[in-house]
Amino acid sequence: MERELLLKFVDGSKTQFAMRELVDTIRHPTILGMTCLFAILLALPSGGMYSAEVPLWARVTLNLVSVGLFAVQFPALLRETYSWATRRRLKVVYEPIITTSAAIMVTLNVEALAVFIVGYSDLTRWDLVLKLAIGALFWEIHISIMLLFVGPALRASEAARLNKSDKTDLAPQKIRIGNAGFLPDDVLRVETKDHFVFVHTSGGAKRVLATMSEAQKALELYGIQVHRRHWVAFRELGEIRQNGRSYAMTTASGHQVAVARERRAAVMQAFNKVAFK
């Protein structure tokens, strides 16, 4: 039996090391937007991430670049770690190791860009160590929150939205006959008189300016035309009786409907299918 690989966070909590789900969470538009917002706030002079020589536009740009770099570096390290861990049949991988490694690489790259913009750097060795530690701490807190709380909440919200959408799609849609709309399951039968069709539903009859061919085309999945003047829903079909040379049907709701001789066989076949379902 294949072992389940777990990702363990700094607070001791664990989650399944599902590669695609983790990467999709990091690159989710909402999470990327939140990360960019934090990056812009940290670029302000009060953030203390850069020296006063780095202009504000450069601070914002560098922090947004760091977000982009992390969105590439972190998933890449996740993939490499997952591959390495599965080959060695490990059960647990520690998330801080991955996040800290990605954060150090991103901070070093961004600091190199800052030096390129300013033209020099007055950072001491300990200043750089402090920056690396602050960067690692920021990304560790951020990733833990995103993967443990924000990501699952977003997936649950999207699942609920999709479920609601599916239910809406499955809801019965009205069909059009002339200028009127009807729920197909409500229509029992249709008959023509003069230039109108009378649509009989469980709630009564409605006169509509239309032709039988229009009504039959709209309702062809829900019943059958039994006569040039009559259409009957499948569930309303009843036994056909001969009266002299003509045929008539008593529908399930008790109405007498004429049945054309040439349509009798098709109507009986449809009735038998419904009766023996």
Domain range for 75 is 6-170
Placement of tokens 């600091």 in the chain: 111
In terms of domains, do 19 and 90 share one?
Answer: yes
Last residue in a domain, options 170, 193, 208: 170
Same domain, 84 and 149: yes
DSSP summary character for residue 148: I
Assess whether 157 and 182 both reside in one domain: no
- What pLDDT score was predicted for residue 230? 94
The pLDDT tens digits for 168-181 are 555 568 888 888 88
Q: What is the pLDDT of residue 169?
A: 55
For residue 251, give the CATH number of its domain. 2.40.50.1020
Q: What phi, psi does 18 have (nearest 5°)?
A: -95, 105
Q: What is the pLDDT of residue 2?
A: 43
Four-point Cα dihedral 211, 214, 218, 220, nearest 10: 90
Q: Domain end: 149, 170, 191, which one?
A: 170
Give the chain's residues under pLDDT 50. Answer: 1-2, 47
Burial class of residue 86 (count of CB atoms within 10 Å of its CB; 0-12, 13-18, 19+): middle
Do 130 and 39 fall within a single domain? yes
Amino acid code (one letter) for 36: C
3-state secondary structure of 8: strand
Give the model's pLDDT for residue 48: 55
Residues 43 and 107 in one domain: yes
Residue 266 burial (CB < 10 Å; 0-12/13-18/19+)?
middle
Distance of alpha carbon 150 from its chain centroid, rounded? Answer: 17
160 and 183, same domain (yes or no): no
Is 20 in the same domain as 148? yes
Residue 247 CA to its chain's centroid (Å): 53
Which DSSP symbol is given to 45? G
59 and 44 inside one domain: yes
Domain end position, chosen among 170, 205, 231: 170
Whether 201 is in a domain gets the answer: yes
What burial class does residue 243 get, using C-beta atoms within 10 Å of its C-beta: 0-12 exposed, 13-18 middle, 19+ buried?
exposed
Alpha helices in the chain (DSSP H): 19-26, 29-42, 56-87, 95-118, 125-145, 151-170, 212-219, 264-275
Flag whether 224 is in a domain.
yes
> Using CA atoms, how far apart are residues 204 and 197, in angstroms rounded to an integer?
13
Please give the single-letter amino acid code of residue 35.
T
Task: List, in order, residues 6 or more apart from 121 with CB less than 8 Å away.
Answer: 111, 114, 115
**What's residue 100's pLDDT?**
94
pLDDT value at position 1?
38
In 3D space, the residue among 177, 275, 178, 193 whose CA is nearest the CA of residue 227 turns out to be 193
CA distance 103 to 93: 17
In a domain, 187, yes or no: yes
Q: So what's the pLDDT on residue 111?
A: 86
pTM of the complete model: 0.57
User: Rounded to 5 degrees, what are φ and ψ at 73?
Assistant: -65, -45
